Structure 1
Amino acid sequence: MSILTLMQAQLETFSAGERQIANTILDDPDMMARLSSIELARKSGRSQSSVVKFCQKLGFSGYQDLRLEITRAAAAARSAPLDAVHSTIDTGDDALITAQKLLSSKIKSLQETLGINAPGQMDAARDMLNGAARVQLSGVGASSLVARDFAYKLQKLGIPVLFDGDSHIQIAHAATLTESDVLVSLSQSGTSLETLRVAETARQRGATILTVTGLHPNRLAELADIALRTVTDEERVRSSAITSRDAQLILLDMVFLRLVQIRDGAVELISGAAEAVAPLKL
């Protein structure tokens, strides 16, 4: 995981002063190649000693080590070719190279996504869902597909679920939620107006909210009781929601498996669902 990704992932855990330093760096990482610690302190409105302590908190011995690592990460972030169709995949790549690059991109995204979400956070999400009277799933676009998949999985565990691909119906569902219900809201950007409207309605109704969004600060995550985060490589060059979809899936699959492990009769319910549809297969 790059230092820029790590800083973005930890942003909400930083103190106000640390966040000022981090945001100054994240807003323009290229400038770090020419900034001294005194200059960074001045730009971020903090003291030089605060900058040094920030470096040490991130695991570096001092400012020079952090500056070097950020310079490397910034250079790597600029390395996507102009004719890339997805991350580092070029229009001239053959099928084998495309497959290898895509696989590498997916593996990196999944590993980093699991790495930034603490096990305790995942289990807190599990417990939230396990104790819910009803669970509503919300998402638009590619996130709607992931929401539908998770809704299906929860239904197989006997959990009452609300889901509809129509965002207006999602809003109507949210208007019926109570303090005993949970909304699971998915949006890579965290800025989809329909998804935000659903979450705001659920919040007004007193429901508990679990969100799955990208690393960057966003309004949807701010509404959450528990906010899970995804790491993708689609910010630089994006042809479609590929690694973000996979990252959302692995987080919710992990929560689902943890539910299966603690719910009485879960395995039997899943087997029963499979047996019920078995006669429909040739």
Structure 2
Amino acid sequence: MTKDILSLIQTNMSTFSKGQKLIANFILESYDKAAFMTASKLGKTVCVSESTVVRFAAELGYDGYPAMQKALQEMIRSKLTSVQRIEVSNDRIGNQDILSMVMQSDIEKIHLTLEETDRAQFDQAVDAIVSARHIYILGVRSAAAIASFLGFYFNLIFDNVTVVHATSTSEVFEQLLRIGPQDVIVGISFPRYSRRTVKAMQFAHDRGAAVLALTDSEASPLAPIATLTLLAKSDMASFVDSLVAPLSLVNALIVAIGRKKNDDLSHTFETLEQIWDEYEVYEKVEEQN
């Protein structure tokens, strides 16, 4: 369904039963909370039965409540403010044990990411990175941590890596000035998506570079620009971005590339070990003097 779910509800409001109107009004007023409620909880919140909620979803043309819930989540994916995230997070946690709930949620995101990762896209991403003339990595805000992590290990494997520092839009384009065909850019962004990352990815795409997006959904603004897309589940309802699933996917990417570049990686570590040994000897001489 391509029509905005809120518009769909407003258009059909006159056809709803009394109970359905209660659901409709709640969603229109608090869609940020409704998107993360089970059918049972939504029913209890507006004082109708769970079956009424399920019928409401069908009335709108969805194949069950989960499909309607997904449509709501996709709609608000990039719209939740930090304050709304805190409110939704508090509502979801309630009186539950925070440690257990957060860690269990992270485990579920890794499972979902594993199940939904396109193996062909993953393999193509590995090949594109290995064969690239130059590799650019870009992540803004919390995604910068993943970009830095990826850059650290890529610098051990390759000698053609640039982690793009994004303190300003103009600085991003300055660092991407020479990007072109035979290059690849890895753009990392999760809700709320970074406009700087989207603009940089579009620039790289227009210059003919291979564009690899690491994001959470096909609805992400990075997806239409990307040559290849790797999806990792995130929690848009928490004010703290959950990076567990994206980081796990990045780990897999690094390991797969490391196996492809095994000889180069071995040589790098042999060189590092020699440097470390020499530096330790130098330190001992300094201490004796």
Give the TM-score band, short-chain normalised.
0.5 to 0.7
2:108 match: secondary structure: helix
Residue 129 of structure 1 aligns to which amino acid in structure 2?
I
**1:195 counterpart = 2:197:** yes
Deviations 1:158-214 (A, max 9, x none): 241011323443321222101010010010037311111211211121111000112
Please show how residues 77-226 of structure 1 align to structure 2 within 5 Å.
Answer: 84-85=89-90, 88-90=92-94, 97-167=97-167, 168-189=170-191, 191-215=193-217, 217-226=219-228
Q: 1:255 aligns to what?
A: 253
Q: What displacement does 1:20 show?
A: 4.2
The answer as to whether partners of 1:139 and 1:147 remain within 8 angstroms in 2 is yes
| In the alignment, structure 1 residue 271 sits paired with structure 2 residue 269 | yes
1:217-275 Cα shifts (integer Å, max 9, x gaps): 1322110000111212x223x1311x2x2222111211111111222414404533652
For 2:245 and 2:70, the matched residues in 1 are separated by 21
The one-letter code matched in structure 1 to 2:55 is: R
Larger-Rg structure: 2
Alpha-carbon distance, 1:106 to partner: 1.5
Distance change in 2, residues 1:198/1:81 (3 Å): closer
Contact 2:57–2:65 under 8 Å retained in 1: no
**Aligned-pair distance for 1:22?**
11
Report the equivalent of 1:33: 54
Equivalent AA in structure 2 for residue 173 of structure 1 = Q
CA change 1:262–1:202 in 2 (3 A) is same
Query: Identity of counterpart residues, as a percentage?
Result: 17
1:82–1:218 distance in 2 versus 1, CA, 3 Å: closer
CA distance 1:269–1:21, change in 2 (3 Å)? farther
Partners of 2:126 and 2:256 within 8 A in 1: yes
Give yes or no for the alignment of 1:67 onto 2:67.
no
Q: Describe the shift of the 1:82–1:184 C-alpha distance in structure 2 as closer, same or farther (beyond 3 A).
A: closer
- Kept in 2: contact 1:135–1:159 (CA 8 A): no
The secondary structure found in structure 1 opposite 2:173 is helix
Q: What SS does structure 1 have at the residue aligned with 2:246?
A: helix
Deviation (angstroms), 1:35: 4.2
1:261–1:235 distance in 2 versus 1, CA, 3 Å: same
Q: Does the 8 Å contact 2:233/2:246 carry over to 1? A: no
Superposition CA RMSD, Å: 3.6
Match of 1:47 in 2: none
The one-letter code matched in structure 2 to 1:148 is S
The equivalences for 1:231-242 within 5 A come to: 231-232=233-234, 234-236=235-237, 238-241=238-241
1:252–1:22 Cα change, 3 Å: farther
Separation (CA, whole Å) in 2 of partners of 1:258 and 1:33: 44
Whether contact under 8 Å (1:171, 1:197) holds in the other structure is no
CA gap 1:190/1:239 in 2 versus in 1, 3 angstroms: closer
Secondary structure of 1:218 counterpart: coil
Contact 1:196–1:220 (Cα < 8 Å) also in 2: yes
In structure 2, list runs of 5 or more residues that go unmatched.
Answer: 10-30, 40-51, 72-84, 284-289
Contact 2:156–2:265 (8 Å) recurs in 1: no
Q: CA deviation at 1:120?
A: 1.5
Letter in 1 for 2:236: E
Quickly say closer, same or farther: Cα 1:177–1:82, change in 2 above 3 A: closer
TM-score with structure 2 setting the length: 0.65
